Chain A
């Protein structure tokens, strides 16, 4: 899952980015609205975490600019917590709203909730064949047995399960699993697929030659 964090306050942006990375998201960051809007329009993010009070271009303007072209989920992050501000944010097309100062755990939970809603899953636990994923607890089970996976492996499994019964292209996987700072080679994808097949059986991820990968429910 790839996230864009647009926040002008350096310390805050850093900690939000780090936290989300630890939650196995691929995270890009922007220090001002203009750059943030550019990135949001040019990459397909799964969610944008957007601050309101920013230099050059504020959060409302970024949101308006983004909504003209895309339906990327947006979580507004701001120091304004008046009801009218929240209403304004939601009316402008924001998917959720969090006032500063916030709890990091709440931020992560809200980010996940917004993404789940967009993906059509309302429950954090989804089972595909013998494999069960819990996006909140960040666990993967084969049958009843919990299987240990790395953050990247989990992210890949999550993405494939979210788009189950669809062919997921390598480009899509690449865009959503690695952030702008990753200099991973494209064969890294093959490594993660290989490792997941090792842990969950060969039939968990099927290869469609020349197209990509697919996880099938039956």
Chain B
């Protein structure tokens, strides 16, 4: 198994990791953002509270001016102008003047500012005109300049973060502009610590996810490794190997089942092939052995003309047997490779049967066998030369394996939609065990039974079967030991 990037395991792993990383990053970023918002909200609340407390101390109290009359703003400004700036002067010192309401307000204000300063909150106050009224001691220098962009019209509260400080700006016609602020440094420190933590957690989750994923993907891919191992061993020639199936329901279980079936078929066809080759070579060797030894025998010393003649005759017979064998093998190889083509033409099966019977009659007469015909005129489409060969095989067998003086009955009839053709003999019959294999190549039932069966190739019936099946028909055999054998051919009519 290659490692990277061809391996399915690695590809799945990488995609999975990428997805995991995106999800984790998004979740952690959202969490971080949320934390940030919460922190700022809390801070904003902390900053807003002092405003409500500060405002009453800063508001200018008009002596109930008549309705519609505008408030003389200058007075208020004047009031403050004389005072030392509370934030800058240490604020909150009582003035030598008597405790008038304005003085009380200032005392309150100083206390308040001091209290706020303890909590890290600073206060800066400008008049509407932009003059700095006071600023708490802890207020940063850079923020004491008047915030130009703040609107001076009407009551307005705004929040902003400037140069590391969060401030709430309250602008109103009465008070001017009040800024309450605090440094955001603690929050930012907290957030940056949180960020480090989150990155660590995210990294751990991804590493964990990688390991779990590696394990799970490995586990789910395990059957594939098993399958490929088995396939390898089969490719090396160990055809009896099978995949052990666990869990038929899974996709891989089903794949294994299909593969096992394929292997089964492969093995069977391979065995057939091996047996066929062995049988074919065996069948070819015997006539070669005869020709070789007979001619060597004849040539080993001077012999009579009769001996030479006999030797030559044996050689001719063997050569002819080989010819039959090779043409049979050639025909069957065409069947195997799908090149067994028919040339059908319209003809009468009765005429064909009659012809074949006439051909075989001299052979039958030699053994005193009578052929009885029971034929009906039957027009059909068929390949005449192939069909003649098939029928010749069947009748030839009926003569060869019949007893001396026996009978053969040939029937041609139509039963329902089928043409029915049968060749019945009165021979020794075939045992049921042998019947199962009778259409197999090179299978010869009779070897022992009749010495005349010597010329059988064991290919006649397989070829006959192939011809009948090529015509869309079927062939079957019924036999009773001691009574005879009947071959039945059924062909579709029309």
Contacts and interface: CB of A to CB of B under 8 A. Distances in A.
Contact of A104 (B285, B297, B317, B447): B297
Interface stretch (B287-295, B335-343, B397-405): B287-295
Given A11-B317, A12-B289, A79-B286, A103 B296 contact: yes
A18 B291 CA distance: 15
A105 B454 CA distance: 26
B294 A15 contact: yes
A149 to B, nearest CB: 17
Contacts of A82: 278
Interface residues of B, number: 23
Contacts of B3: none
A105 B292 CA distance: 11
Interface in B290-323: 290-294, 296-297, 300-301, 314, 317-318
Given A11-B314, A32-B448, A56-B448, A19 B281 contact: no
18 contacts: A11-B290, A12-B289, A15-B290, A15-B293, A15-B314, A31-B451, A54-B447, A55-B447, A55-B448, A56-B448, A80-B278, A100-B288, A102-B289, A102-B293, A103-B296, A104-B292, A105-B296, A107-B293
A48 interface: no
B296 A104 contact: yes
Query: For the complex, would chain A's binding face be called helix, strand, loop or mixed by DSSP majority?
Result: loop
B19 to A, nearest CB: 58
Interface of B: 278, 281-282, 285-286, 288-294, 296-297, 300-301, 314, 317-318, 447-448, 451, 454
A102 B318 CA distance: 15
B451 A101 contact: no
A11 B294 contact: yes
Interface in A91-145: 99-105, 107
Contacts of B297: 15, 18-19, 104
B294 A101 contact: no
B286 A9 contact: yes
A16 interface: yes
B447 A101 contact: no
A104 B293 CA distance: 6
A101 B289 contact: yes
A159 interface: no
B293 A79 contact: no
Contacts of B317: 11
A54 B292 CA distance: 20
A44 interface: no
A19 B293 contact: yes
B391 to A, nearest CB: 28
A54 B294 CA distance: 20
A100 B447 contact: no
Interface string A62-75: 00000000000000
A10 B293 contact: no
Nearest to B283: A79
Interface in A27-62: 31-32, 53-56
Contacts of A158: none
A80 B285 CA distance: 9
A8 interface: yes
A19 to B, nearest CB: 5
A122 to B, nearest CB: 26
Contacts of B448: 8, 32, 55-56
B292 A103 contact: yes
B313 to A, nearest CB: 10
Contacts of B281: 79
Contacts of B286: 9, 12, 79, 100
B282 A53 contact: yes
A151 B281 CA distance: 38
A8 B286 CA distance: 11
A131 to B, nearest CB: 26
Contacts of A19: 293, 297, 300
Contact of B300 (A32, A79, A102, A104): A104
A55 B449 CA distance: 9
A76 to B, nearest CB: 14
A215 B297 CA distance: 34
Nearest to A23: B300
A79 B296 contact: no
